[in-house]
Amino acid sequence: MDLDLNTRERLPDALRVLLETYPRETWEGHHNFGQLIRFWLDRHLMFRKMNKILLSGVEGYLDQRVDAGRYGRETARIGQKMLHEIHGHHTMEDTHYFPVLTKQDKRLIRGFEMLDADHHALDEHLAGFAKDANALLGALGNGKARDEAGRLHDRITGFGGFLDRHLTDEEDLIVPVLLHYDPEEFQGY
């Protein structure tokens, strides 16, 4: 069972036991699909959108469709927000949600361990993004930012793949648990 975020292609079969009972296309129609799930999925959508905006921005800069000043401001604003929001989201999951969800179905403990490991791997990718973004922002003022922008483009592209793999697997593991067990700790959210 491949649990490594850097190499897995999908949620391993052994962790898809509830997903088979609750496939994605049925989630919104389920009576336990409430505000908590909707909010959580919206956060994931926001992370995907921020990564796409950052990628579009660096491509616009490299293609000379966006001037350096505007690009720098947008990259700093969205990049900082993405770093802050993902870190806060993962902290909430690791300290509040995962401990409750792990107790719901012992067959999925390895899945929650996998998601925790993903968070650590994503932290490394986010640190690399911050380093590359800061290098680019520093180089924008001296007209030598194209190489830095190329590095940042590669970083954002790679990160987007890892982020989407993690978010998709996390959704496929967690939403069925919430639908099936409707933990009382989360009722009223």
Residue 188's pLDDT is what?
Answer: 77
| Inside any domain, residue 4 | no
| Inside any domain, residue 157 | yes
Q: How far apart are CA 73 and CA 51, in angstroms?
A: 16
| Inside any domain, residue 14 | no
Residue 117's pLDDT is what?
Answer: 96
- In three-state secondary structure terms, 154 is helix
Please check whether residue 122 is in contact with residue 90, taking contact to mean a CB–CB distance below 8 angstroms: yes
Residue 189's pLDDT is what?
Answer: 72
Where residue 146 sits, what CATH number does that domain have? Answer: 1.20.120.520
| Inside any domain, residue 163 | yes
- pLDDT of 143 strictly over 90: no
| Inside any domain, residue 2 | no
| Inside any domain, residue 5 | no
Q: How far apart are CA 88 and CA 97, in angstroms?
A: 13
Q: How far apart are CA 2 and CA 159, in angstroms?
A: 19
Residue range 50-81, pLDDT digits in tens: 999 999 999 999 999 999 999 999 999 999 99
| Inside any domain, residue 44 | yes
- Average pLDDT for the chain: 96
- Domain holding 102, by residue range, is 32-186
Residue 17's pLDDT is what?
Answer: 95
Residue range 85-125, pLDDT digits in tens: 999 999 999 999 999 999 999 999 999 999 999 999 999 99
Q: For 4-20, what is the mean pLDDT?
A: 94
- Number of structural domains the chain divides into: 1
| Inside any domain, residue 89 | yes
Residue 54's pLDDT is what?
Answer: 98
Residue 22's pLDDT is what?
Answer: 98
